Structure 1
């Protein structure tokens, strides 16, 4: 029995050590940090929870939901439920055809993905966002408002506009968004549990007001991106679609995030220390990062009940991400990007 205990203790110790090859003591003192997991070369190099949280904790991912919705749109296109990203949203919301605005009839799925639909520019802390959320039908509430700009002409971040993507997936596939996600994305990745609620229009939240995932599960999504849409030999999202998502040709300058970031299809990209970084952001410091050249994926969650969640997010990007990146770079034995 004693020998078995020693063997178990040894295996447990080795397992813990393998998950913390990276030393990130600098993260210990961050008040609102809840979790950080780093995957490098398909091995967990660092994994730690803070402030009483653990691997069974669900975290509100906020606008990372938008990035997941973009992946689901890609899957719907791959499977033939949606023609392409340039399909008019009036195909799914025919109420637009009865609207006097000709501009609304020009809105495409691409416009929703790129936050330049021209729909009424409402986002928190705008009080109208609360009216939208609490209305009997949030989708129709937004579509009934006057247009703010010509579709494609102006970037205007909008959770209400992103929520329309959920309705499109449901209407196109005949499946509720959460079920569609489970069937084609989440369950194949081994994600079997999450908290996802419907808004009052009957569609599952598509913008990030009420979706919760575990950090490990968000890492699985980052890992899928790292592996170009393939998991265990099965293509879940086509590489063709992901190339559109992370295209360097179509750039919308992001108003926040890492320095010099661009926004496309609800994802962010930038060149950081000569390395491409792809990432998703959720309010208050919810992140997943993908660094293809370093074969690295990172998932991070923070507390959003702090006095200034937006500043907390900025501080992580300014101070903590550079520390993580530097140690990942050192562990890879590289100092510059490939080919330099």
Structure 2
């Protein structure tokens, strides 16, 4: 085993050099752990789009607590004062599930980073982009326009997203609270995405946290969040999420080519052994190579944090070809 661990450490340092931390657990025991020089399990790292899957967790908490009735609720239920644009017919028909599964239509072809992030109210700016003449049910991945979900959570719970997360998700798991991070210009945005070093959660000028990126946590924090899902929503005998939400949010709700998507979670590639009642696991993937992998049938969870690089080596391949055989060797 020591030889295998040394091989893995050499592989990571040579071929996955931007990985800062990795914790792999099977059946409640750490099977492999790695940190790049200068980093530890507590080092804060910007999680990029892994933030989306943590936002999905928060929707599960809000549903369990009754703040949200169902993913079938219309989006506009949470924005009663919003004024529809003339001729807009699609937006009133959109439901929460359409946003969570990335199947809502938008009024743009390319990601509207500048339009959303140069405005004062990112929720309103993203809501203005929702709807149009596109087809409901067609997969369209977005990050800036997903900010609508922040407004939904805040309206439903009466708290900003970070406060709700601190109280109802992070605190029960022993994760230190996060504070708002404000980025005032494009240069600060770039510097943050390339190397955030302070715990927190990016928020717009109105104080609304970004649901699709911007959360800064440690590898140790991530493995706790993954383990909560492996535990079917229970932590230390306290139920934080319903089993039904975990099943629903990590099952196929939409598809982009051969890639399957749940509610802000990616599904692992299909295999011959996958059944209708038990999928092959699921993952959260973020820019630069941040990742969470959860395989319930093997009782395996893996958390990976990474420094940003433009085109990192694929983490799914790292997991399936190297980490999984190490953690769950075939008999």
- With the shorter chain as reference, the TM-score category is 0.7 to 0.9
Offset at residue 327 of structure 1 (A): 1.1
Deviation readout 1:264-306 (Å, 9 max, x if unpaired): 10001124664612100111100000011111100001111x3
Question: Is the aligned partner of 1:87 residue 2:73?
Answer: yes
Question: Is the aligned partner of 1:27 residue 2:27?
Answer: no
- Pairing 1:212-251 to 2, within 5 Å after superposition: 212-248=216-252, 250=253
Offset at residue 84 of structure 1 (A): 0.5
Q: Which has the higher contact order (CA 8 A, sep 6+)?
A: 2
Return the alpha-carbon distance in structure 1 between the equivalents of residues 211 and 282 of structure 2.
Answer: 21
Whether the aligned pair in 2 keeps the contact of 1:189 and 1:220 (CA below 8 Å) is yes
Aligned to 1:24, what secondary structure does the other structure show? Answer: helix
Query: Could you tell me which residue of structure 2 aligns to residue 3 of structure 1?
Result: none
- Pairing 1:88-237 to 2, within 5 Å after superposition: 88-100=74-86, 101-121=88-108, 126=111, 128-145=112-129, 147-150=131-134, 152-194=136-178, 195-208=200-213, 210-237=214-241
Instruction: Evaluate the alpha carbon distance shift between residue 232 and residue 116 of structure 1 in structure 2; reply closer, same or farther with a 3 A threshold.
Output: same
Return the alpha-carbon distance in structure 1 between the equivalents of residues 134 and 118 of structure 2.
Answer: 27
Instruction: Evaluate the alpha carbon distance shift between residue 184 and residue 320 of structure 1 in structure 2; reply closer, same or farther with a 3 A threshold.
Output: closer
Offset at residue 320 of structure 1 (A): 5.7
Query: Could you tell me which residue of structure 2 aligns to residue 324 of structure 1?
Result: 323
Offset at residue 155 of structure 1 (A): 1.0
Identify unmatched segments of 5+ residues in structure 1: 1-16, 336-340
Query: Could you tell me which residue of structure 2 aligns to residue 312 of structure 1?
Result: 312
Instruction: Evaluate the alpha carbon distance shift between residue 116 and residue 37 of structure 1 in structure 2; reply closer, same or farther with a 3 A threshold.
Output: same
CA RMSD of aligned residues (A): 2.4
Whether the aligned pair in 2 keeps the contact of 1:191 and 1:217 (CA below 8 Å) is yes
Return the alpha-carbon distance in structure 2 between the equivalents of residues 320 and 83 of structure 1.
Answer: 36
Return the alpha-carbon distance in structure 2 between the equivalents of residues 118 and 49 of structure 1.
Answer: 41
Instruction: Evaluate the alpha carbon distance shift between residue 105 and residue 230 of structure 1 in structure 2; reply closer, same or farther with a 3 A threshold.
Output: same
Return the alpha-carbon distance in structure 1 between the equivalents of residues 318 and 225 of structure 2.
Answer: 25
